Amino acid sequence: MTDPILTLTGISKSFPGVRALHNVSLELYPGQVTALIGENGAGKSTLVKTMTGIYQADEGEIRVKGQAVSLPTAISATNAGITAIHQETVLFDELSVAENIYLGHAPRNRFGMIDWKTMRTEAQETLDSMAAGIDAGIPLKELGIAKKHLVAVARALSVDAQVVIMDEPTAALSQKEIEELYVLVELLKKEGKAILFISHKFDEIYRICDRFTVFRDGEMVGKGLIKDTPESEIVKLMVGRSVDHIFPAREAAIGETLLEVKGLSHPTEFENISFSVRKGEILGFYGLVGAGRSEVMQAVFGMTSVSGGTIVLDGKTIAPRSPADAVEAGIVYVPEERGKQGVITGETIFKNVSLPSLDKTSRGGFIRMAEEFALARTYTERLDLRASSLSQNVSTLSGGNQQKVVIAKWLATLPKVIILDEPTKGIDIGSKAAVHGFMAELVAQGLSVIMVSSELPEILGMSDRVVVMREGLMIETLENKNLQPETLVRLAAGIAEGKAA
């Protein structure tokens, strides 16, 4: 067997409060495609960033063709022959295709200026060798996503990359475009490139990959040859995990229906979504990234407008046209993007917490600071917030504590329905347990909780029922009784039951 081009050994990487990668290893062989498989948050992106010089590993070694290399910058990774094609291509819309291909290593003429003619011809040759059918002279913005991927591949060929990382390259492609991409992958294989292929879709993994490596919670849990391994085994590797987290026991008595959503549709993001949540119930929403779960929730929260459907809360039909309307009605939303949408960075903890409740803490529109501090203290202490004072700037808090501030802010409004979007994504284990414990407490008080999550243990550990979404459609609503993680993964990824059994 040939030696691997790229070898990673003992790579570890931590962020404040999060252990993203722990002692992982990976080998990539020339002329072969290795699939990197894992749930969201398993550490795949962190690994890619480590390999492309965006992050630096805390520990471990990267070897290219047996030589140990260090990759302090993105350019050093390119020079080492490693290039990545991302889900959202990182190319320049306003530049021409040829310029995109040769950016940073354009051919020069004898005056040291860019040799446009050679660049254009060579770019065209590369594109033609791929049968891309793209004119190297046109601006990149005139191409669709699929064609942009081709340009990215051409760029990889032109820099003579030995290792090509493809990070969910098919996520935004149509079936026909995907087929074209497969042809390209074959081409790269023939050229002897080592390819790392990241994907959630099992059909394509089995179609084009030779090897696989499975990550779970930042650790490498299994690897092997695709042709020797049935799908069910890989799914098991992905989801089966050590019991590192005990979910709180639930004592909530489930009451009558509180929120009922019928036929909710959006012109592009989702269609005909119907679900209901009862008092004291946690409804889980499971699906792959991009399945449209957050979009549905933001529509219920009044952030985006819908093209059809009804929302009934507590027997009354509501049509929130802004989050302010939704909050008034009693629906609150803890967004996934904590830093951008959740907390107001640059402001203090107490101002963040009191913002939606100002009408309650003030008198006649005039601020009463004592009331605000009291409100903030009540709710942040219930969540065991770790901070030095209530006037601390939220941007200085860890992710988990920022999340507690966001939840405290909403609890103070005394909501009826609380929607949590990936509530424990990227936060430390301690804060995770606090958030989970609190969710159990909330439903015990008769609130309804909707939890969007891509983490299977969380979905299975917390939900009473689970809605599975795929590509903007509702696939199934399941009672969480003897629910197998494999079932959810299959439904979310669209794998037929018989095939995987």
Partner 1 sequence: MTDTTATGRQLPDRLDNPVKSAVLSWESLLVLVALAIFIANSFASPYFLNEWSLSDMTFNFTEKALIALAMALVIITGEIDLSVASIIALASTMMGLALQYGADTPTLVAVGVGVGILCGAFNGALITGLKLPSIVVTIGTMSLFRGIAYIVLGDQSFRGYPASFSWFGQGYVFWVISFELVLFLLAAVIFYVVLHHTNFGRRVFAIGNNATAARFSGVRVDRIKFILFCLTGLMSGLAAVLLTARLGSTRPSIAQGFELEVVTMVVLGGVSILGGSGSILGVVLAALIMGLVTFGLGLLNIPGIVMSIFIGALLIVVIALPILFRMWRQRRA
Choose among 250, 259, 255: nearest CA to 280.
255
How many Cα neighbours within 13 Å face the side chain of 309? 22
Examine residue 400 and tell whether it contacts partner 1 (CB under 8 A).
Answer: yes
Q: How far is the CB of 343 from partner 1 (least distance, A)?
A: 6
Choose among 215, 200, 138, 131: nearest CA to 170.
200
* Binding window for partner 1 (CB under 8 A); candidates: 31-39, 90-98, 170-178, 355-363: 355-363
* Cβ distance to partner 1 smaller for residue 216 or 409: 409
Q: How far is the CB of 379 from partner 1 (least distance, A)?
A: 11
Distance (Å) of CA 395 to CA 55, 127, 360, 399, 402: 22, 46, 25, 9, 8
Q: Contacts with partner 1 in 427-456 (CB under 8 A)?
A: 428
* Cβ distance to partner 1 smaller for residue 81 or 400: 400
| Among 264, 327, 405, 443, interactor with partner 1 by CB under 8 A | 327
Examine residue 104 and tell whether it contacts partner 1 (CB under 8 A).
Answer: no
Q: How many residues bind partner 1 (CB under 8 A)?
A: 52
* Cβ distance to partner 1 smaller for residue 161 or 331: 331
Query: Whole-angstrom Cα distance, residue 410 to residue 334?
Result: 8
| Among 172, 358, 429, 440, interactor with partner 1 by CB under 8 A | 358
Choose among 91, 107, 173, 106: nearest CA to 140.
91
* 338 DSSP 8-state letter: I
Q: Compose the 164-203 pattern: x for residues touching partner 1 by CB under 8 A, - for all others.
A: ----------------------------------------
Q: How far is the CB of 386 from partner 1 (least distance, A)?
A: 5
| Among 326, 420, 442, 467, interactor with partner 1 by CB under 8 A | 326
Pairing of the two strands 316-318 and 308-313: antiparallel
* Binding window for partner 1 (CB under 8 A); candidates: 152-160, 172-180, 185-193, 324-332: 324-332
- Token couple for 129: 């060798």
How far is C-alpha 475 from the geometric centre of its chain's CA atoms?
Answer: 20
Q: How far is the CB of 429 from partner 1 (least distance, A)?
A: 12
Q: Extract the runs of DSSP E, i.e. beta strands, from 204-318.
A: 211-216, 219-225, 257-265, 273-278, 282-286, 308-313, 316-318
Q: Which residues contact 482 (CB under 8 A, 6 or more apart)?
A: none
* Binding window for partner 1 (CB under 8 A); candidates: 138-146, 222-230, 275-283, 363-371: 363-371
Q: How far is the CB of 37 from partner 1 (least distance, A)?
A: 31
* Binding window for partner 1 (CB under 8 A); candidates: 82-90, 209-217, 305-313, 361-369: 361-369
- Token couple for 63: 């070897």
Query: Whole-angstrom Cα distance, residue 391 to residue 165?
Result: 45
Q: How far is the CB of 96 from partner 1 (least distance, A)?
A: 29
| Among 90, 131, 225, 367, interactor with partner 1 by CB under 8 A | 367
Which DSSP helix (H) or strand (E) runs through 50?
helix 44-51
* Cβ distance to partner 1 smaller for residue 3 or 381: 381
476: left (phi over 0), alpha (psi -120 to 50) or beta: beta
Q: Contacts with partner 1 in 9-38 (CB under 8 A)?
A: 16-17
Q: How far is the CB of 464 from partner 1 (least distance, A)?
A: 26
* Binding window for partner 1 (CB under 8 A); candidates: 28-36, 51-59, 230-238, 374-382: 374-382
Which DSSP helix (H) or strand (E) runs through 155?
helix 145-158
Examine residue 362 and tell whether it contacts partner 1 (CB under 8 A).
Answer: yes
| Among 387, 418, 447, 488, interactor with partner 1 by CB under 8 A | 387
* Cβ distance to partner 1 smaller for residue 111 or 366: 366
Choose among 167, 168, 134: nearest CA to 151.
134
Range 212-216 contact pairs with CB under 8 angstroms and sequence separation of 24 or more: 212/34, 212/35, 212/36, 212/37, 213/26, 213/34, 213/35, 213/36, 213/37, 214/37, 214/38, 214/238, 215/24, 215/36, 215/37, 215/38, 215/42, 215/43, 215/44, 215/47, 216/38, 216/39, 216/42, 216/241
Residues engaged in binding partner 1 (CB under 8 A):
16-17, 303, 322-324, 326-328, 333, 335, 340-347, 350-352, 354-356, 358-359, 362, 365-367, 373, 377, 380-381, 384-392, 396-398, 400-401, 409, 413, 428
